[in-house]
């Protein structure tokens, strides 16, 4: 509403109007469909059976996602800092890592971790270190995503005006102090949206670990289908569970973003 319009309507009782253009239609549709689907699931014997079996896979999916994400956040930060470093060795090493990991499909990385790295590590350490299973899966996802995250951090750091670094350095801070107290706090705020999106992507991509026979959500669903031959109910349940988790995350990411924007 323009200032004139506000002035003109001051003191008058406005008719109740709905700002139709600002209604989140997608969320309303989703909610209606969600209620409908939820009702059909909870009243259907077949879906309740599928849900009871498949929901066991959620915990591994969440566990792998969260741990991989935390590792990728740290790896991304370290390699991102190396990418903007003046040190040629740091720069070369991080660029190599980023280019290689971004160039290999995540599925291939996970298979490689599971069937190439794990046996080699076990052999080399005489069985002391065994990455079999979940550790291999987590390492694969974290390493792959670390490369994407490194580029996100780099972009964030490079988006901060050069004057900020100069001001910090002119006050006597060393490079790392300036990074820690001046550049990164600003950069991280700017990259919250891509960081949040990466978490959501990661949750979905964690389904790839089913190829190394881990009982995550997808693998549990496949197990259910192969036992009961109820592909329809089985995969619907799998999809619904993923969707529920990603929607919750996407709302959480929005809230965090909004909070950061206000500050």
Partner 1 sequence: MNRDPIITIENVYKSFGHVEAVVDVSLDVYPGEVVVIIGPSGGGKSTLLRCINKLETVDAGRIVVDGHSITETKNINRVRAEIGMVFQLFNLFPHLTALENITLAQKVVRKRGEKQAKEIAHEQLVKVGIGDKWDAYPSQLSGGQQQRVAIARALAMEPKIMLFDEPTSALDPEMIKGVLDVMLDLAQEGMTMVVVSHEMGFVRAAADRVALLDHGSLVEVTTPEDLFENPEEERTKEFLSQILH
User: Is there binding between residue 171 and partner 1 (CB under 8 A)?
Assistant: yes
In the window 143-162, what residues touch partner 1 (CB under 8 A)?
A: 161
Taken as a whole, the chain contains a residue count of 263
Residue 87 binds partner 1 (CB under 8 A): no
- Enumerate residues 181-240 that contact partner 1 by CB under 8 A: 181-182, 185-186, 189
Give least dist CB 195 to partner 1, A. 17
> What is the secondary structure of 35-89 as a DSSP string?
HHHHHHHHH-HHHHHHHHHHTHHHHHHHHHHHHHHHHHHHHHHHHHHHHT-S-HH
Taking alpha carbons only, the member of 253, 244, 238 closest to residue 47 is 238
Q: Which is nearer to partner 1, 142 or 182 (CB)?
A: 182
> Vertex 71, ends 107 and 55: CA angle to 5°?
60
Closest CA to 240 of 28, 55, 11: 55
User: Considering beta carbons, is residue 184 or 217 the nearer one to partner 1?
Assistant: 184
CB atoms near residue 31 (< 10 Å): 11
- Decide whether 81 or 240 has the Cβ nearer to partner 1: 81
Smallest distance, Å, CB 139 to partner 1? 34
Is the CB of 119 or the CB of 185 nearer to partner 1?
Answer: 185
Neighbours of 112 (CB within 10 A): 15
259 binds partner 1 (CB under 8 A): no
36-75 residues near partner 1, rule: CB under 8 A: none
Residues in the interface with partner 1 (CB under 8 A) total 19
Which SS3 state, helix, strand or coil, does residue 17 take?
coil
Chain contacts with partner 1 (rule: CB under 8 A): 161, 163-164, 166-174, 177, 181-182, 185-186, 189, 263
């Amino acid at each position: 509403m323009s200032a004139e319009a506000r002035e003109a309507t001051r003191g008058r009782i406005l008719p109740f109007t709905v700002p139709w253009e600002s209604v989140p239609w997608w969320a309303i549709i989703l909610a209606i469909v969600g209620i409908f689907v939820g009702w059909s699931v909870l009243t259907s014997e077949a879906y309740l059976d599928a849900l009871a079996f498949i929901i066991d896979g959620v915990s591994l999916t969440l566990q792998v996602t969260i741990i991989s994400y935390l590792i990728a956040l740290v790896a991304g930060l370290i390699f991102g800092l190396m990418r903007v470093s003046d040190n040629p060795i740091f720069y070369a090493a991080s660029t190599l890592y980023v280019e290689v990991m971004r160039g290999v499909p995540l599925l291939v990385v996970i298979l490689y971790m599971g069937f190439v790295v794990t046996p080699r590590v076990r052999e080399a350490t005489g069985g002391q270190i065994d990455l079999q299973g979940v550790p291999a899966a987590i390492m694969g996802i974290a390493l792959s995503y670390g490369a994407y995250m490194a580029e996100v951090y780099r972009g964030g750091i490079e988006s901060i005006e050069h004057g900020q670094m100069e001001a910090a350095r002119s006050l006597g801070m060393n490079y790392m102090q300036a990074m820690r107290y001046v550049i990164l706090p600003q950069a991280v705020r700017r990259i919250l949206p891509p960081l949040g999106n990466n978490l959501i992507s990661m949750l979905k991509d964690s389904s790839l670990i089913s190829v190394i026979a881990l009982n995550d959500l997808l693998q549990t669903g496949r197990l259910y289908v192969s036992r009961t031959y109820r592909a329809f109910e089985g995969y619907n349940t799998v999809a619904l569970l993923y969707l529920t988790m990603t929607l919750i995350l996407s709302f959480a990411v929005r809230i965090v973003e909004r909070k950061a924007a206000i500050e």
